[in-house]
Amino acid sequence: MRAVSASTPGAAAGARERPLLQALGIFSGVAIAVGGTIGTGIFRTPGPVAAQLGDARLIQALWIFGGLVFLCGAMTYAELGSRRPRSGGLFTFIREAYGPGPGFVYGSLFAGVTAPATAAALGVVFGEYVVRLGGGEAGSVPLFAAGAITILALTNYVGLRWGAGVQNVLTIVKVAGLVALVGIAFLHSAAPGAGAPLESSNRVSAGLLVAFAIAFQSVIWAFDGFSDPLKVGEEIEHPRRNLPRSLIGGTAVIAVVYLLVNAAFLWAVPLATMAGSTLPAADAATRLLGRAGDPLITGLALVAILGTLNESLLANPRIAYAMARDGLAPSVLRSVNVGGTPTAALLLNAALALVFALSGTFEDLQAVVAFALMLGEVAATGALFVFRRRRRALADATHYRVPGYPVVPALFLLVNLGVAASLILVSPRQALVGLVVIAVAALAYALLRTRLAAGGGAAEPRH
């Protein structure tokens, strides 16, 4: 295991700062992508997707399209990560491509809203599933959420290896459970009416493309997390080689699992039932396993959500850490303990997540996260075009290069632009909240720019 330098020239405490640890193998990298993505989405989104599209062929086509789009995204980010194997995720690319101002805006938005909102949303859903198992009243959901966030935050506080170990185990269990559910489904006969198209006047009147675009927002939520290996980029062993493998391999696993699970749901549950269900996974399990199906699928969902929540608390604090290392956040946030955890950044993320979980609702948090995610994807994907033009004469055979450039990254960029625009049209108030946060962050940077510039920049990590 190697240490990665995180010193900052001119910082008084620079000599005493501990480095991040390069302790993650390729399996852990894939587990971060898969475990951080397969959570609430696949258990909840098939219902809204079925309601919008009303046809099994269209539903599967949507998930295939989503898988291809996010594979394009994974290949795009693989080149970005290979060029810049630093922990900090999309913040690193945005800062270098567009300057410290946009980097500060994105990093502040992510660290202050997106990261804790993600953890809070996952905690709230965890609480909902505990209540579904009979673990308490509906009013206790925020308390269960707070408990899960606190326990996993403390686990990750101990060190990177602890957090990664928990992540590996939870990812194996959740994927194995979903594969088992798929196998059981196809051993049973199809449900009566399975796959029969719905008579959906809403879908026809709204138009197929509009319905497809609305349903695709649910797919985006389900794929949220596929790029998370970037957040721990310099902590992956041999990152120029293993980071692209983690991103592309992880995204491929996610896409295949989603296709299989949706095929199993469409086989086991009549489409009309799925379209009206908030939890089609439970409907499928109940038909396949009888009365034992509901508690079993709820238990599997709990494992899946815990895995995603753990990954969120493991990876997301690296953005605040990277900002501090680059002189764009208070220096205390670059503190790292002996286990390789950026402790102050983790505590900040967990504290904000607790506030959101105890005061907000899952739906509002999901909307804020989705819009912020799209803005980040657009800016970071565009960074690849900036880097390619800026370094056209500096060909580097040591890093991964996305095949099909510029078509592959352009497809991912155009899809994200389209979805961001649709989010503004469909949910203007929620989008406005995101824009207000961006404006506040930009104003804060303008006011703090001189002080931040005096803090100095960070040294490059050693690889």
At 95-152, the pLDDT tens digits run 999 999 999 989 988 888 888 988 998 898 899 889 888 877 878 889 999 999 999 9
Radius of gyration of the chain, Cα coordinates, nearest whole angstrom: 22
Q: What is the mean pLDDT of the chain?
A: 85
At 205-255, the pLDDT tens digits run 457 777 887 888 888 888 989 999 999 999 999 999 999 999 999 999 999
Of residues 35, 429, 422, the one with CA closest to residue 217: 422
Residues 6 or more apart whose Cβ sits within 8 Å of residue 363: none
Domains and CATH numbers, the chain: 24-392+401-448 (1.20.1740.10)
- Computed from CA positions of residues 40, 41, 47, 52, in that sequence, does the dihedral angle turn out positive or negative? positive
Enter the pTM of the model.
Answer: 0.89
Tell me the C-alpha distance between 279 and 96, whole Å.
42
Residue 265: what residue type? F
Tell me the C-alpha distance between 174 and 178, whole Å.
6
**Residue 278 CB-density burial (10 A; 0-12 exposed, 13-18 middle, 19+ buried):** exposed
Between the alpha carbon of residue 47 and those of residues 147, 187, 215, 284, the distances in Å are 29, 23, 10, 12
Per-residue pLDDT of the chain (463 residues; tens, 9 = 90+): 555 544 443 343 444 578 899 999 999 999 999 999 998 778 878 888 888 888 888 999 999 999 999 999 999 999 999 988 999 999 999 999 999 999 998 998 888 888 898 899 889 889 988 988 887 787 888 999 999 999 999 999 999 999 999 999 999 999 999 999 999 988 887 665 555 566 554 444 457 777 887 888 888 888 989 999 999 999 999 999 999 999 999 999 999 999 999 999 888 888 888 888 777 888 888 888 888 888 888 899 899 999 999 999 999 999 999 999 999 999 999 999 999 999 999 999 999 999 988 886 555 656 655 676 678 889 999 999 999 988 754 445 568 999 999 999 999 999 888 878 877 887 788 788 778 778 888 899 999 887 776 655 555 555 5
Long-range contacts of 240-244 (CB under 8 A, 24+ apart): 240/82, 240/85, 240/398, 240/399, 240/400, 240/463, 242/25, 242/26, 242/29, 243/29, 243/78, 243/81, 243/82, 243/85, 244/75, 244/78, 244/79, 244/81, 244/82, 244/400
Contact 150, 283 (CB under 8 A): no
Q: Are strands 2-4 and 20-22 parallel, antiparallel or unpaired?
A: antiparallel
